[in-house]
Amino acid sequence: MTAPFPNLPPTPDTAIVWQSDSLYLLDQRDLPSVAKYLQLRSAAATANAIRDMVVRGAPAIGVTAAYGVVLAAREAFAENPTGWKQGIAARISRLRMSRPTASNLFWALGRMQQLIEQLSAERDPEAELLAEAVKIHERDVADNMRMGEMGAELIDGPTRVITHCNAGALATGGYGTALGVIRSAFARGSIHQVYADETRPWLQGSRLTAWELLQDGIPVTLLADGAAASLMSRGDIGWIIVGSDRIAANGDVANKIGTYGLAVAAKHHGVRVMVVAPTSTVDMQMASGQEIPIEVRGDDEVLGCGGKQIGADGAEVWNPVFDVTPAELVDVIVTEKGIVHSPTRKKLEKLITN
């Protein structure tokens, strides 16, 4: 249900909030024209919200799923106070299937599952699981701020940058990954202009990134996705800065569709590419990007826009949500544990194990 949210204004940094025994999500499908919260009180509703892109961005999906486990535990315990562990399993499975590409989803659910295994089967688990979900949320915000500072140190400015999709506070627990770097670099005076790809077909750049940057007073210019290469040819772009939904062991990066083409154009024009993501995004079980499952969504997202059909009747559609940028096109990966230049498996293994 749509619900008022009396204690906090709808801002990018308050997109995921637990209050009064409910999970509240700022509904990103309606931004920026309407800022409203969706109140969630079940694991199924949480899984649906993730699948339907009420919330999106790998870190935000992970945080949301952790809170979804709390709701799952409440339901399972109410059904069977001594057998709730059996009841919670199917609900967690539904959460797991909500978005297959986001590594943080599986990381967060894995962490919650580890705690479940330690809890008594005969005691209400909600309070302990909620405390763990809050820790995951708070850690994500702290990690984002740390990455923002580290990434900003790499930027000699003042310069202009391009970002793709939305990797800001809306896509995380708060502050942002790619936009966290941009926020920190802007505060330092290293970035003075941001170009945001519109990011078809969901227009996360137009709707979400532009809104976030404007909330912070950061100058933003929108680009049609196909305009980025031409802009780079002018020679005044310092960096491409993006987030990631999954990073393979060899440094290949899955991110919103269009990132690969942006990185290819950047290589041609000598523009450096920075990927900003927490280590929970790094999947050392995936040898390369070829193994990363790529979600494909419905035809209507490409054939229509804003509830109006724009595509020709009868046209077939290929609508992958993500693409994979090979590691050789990535100059640097910034994580909360440190920075990896020219990523390789050996470098990522060293980072993860430290």
Catalytically active residues, by annotation = 245
CB count, 10 Å around CB of 171?
A: 30
Distance, CA of 114 to CA of 125 (rounded, Å): 13
Question: How does strand 22-26 pair with strand 37-40?
Answer: antiparallel
Distance, CA of 132 to CA of 151 (rounded, Å): 28
Closest CA to 32 of 187, 296, 295, 220: 220
For residue 34, report the phi and psi dihedrals to the nearest 5 degrees.
-130, 125
Hey, is 296 helix, strand or coil? strand
Residue showing tokens 């609900």:
91
Q: Which residues, 6+ apart, have CB-to-CB distance to 78 below 8 Å?
A: none
**Which H or E run contains 254?**
strand 253-256
Say which amino acid occupies 347: K
